[in-house]
């Protein structure tokens, strides 16, 4: 979690799906995410 300001924070994340469509023959998927949190 990284604070950009006192009221805005970002949180990076990674999701790895090792067997897309329940099929081991498919290559793994890697998905990057960024969550932004605003507080008032």
Question: What is the pLDDT, as a whole number, of residue 26?
Answer: 93
Q: pTM value? A: 0.67
The encoded tokens of residue 31 equal 């998905």
Work out the pLDDT band at 8, boundaries 50, 70, 90.
very high
List CB contacts of 5: < 8 A, sequence separation 6 or more: none
Work out the pLDDT band at 15, boundaries 50, 70, 90.
very high
Q: What are phi and psi of 25, to 5 degrees?
A: -75, -20
The least confident of 5-9, 10-14, 21-25 is 21-25
Average pLDDT rounded to a whole number, residues 13-34: 95
**Residues 13 and 30: beta-carbon distance below 8 Å:** no
């Amino acid at each position: 979690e990284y604070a950009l300001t006192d009221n805005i924070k970002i949180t990076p994340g990674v999701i790895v799906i090792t067997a897309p469509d329940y099929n081991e023959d498919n290559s793994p998927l890697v998905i990057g995410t960024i969550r932004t949190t605003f507080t008032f």
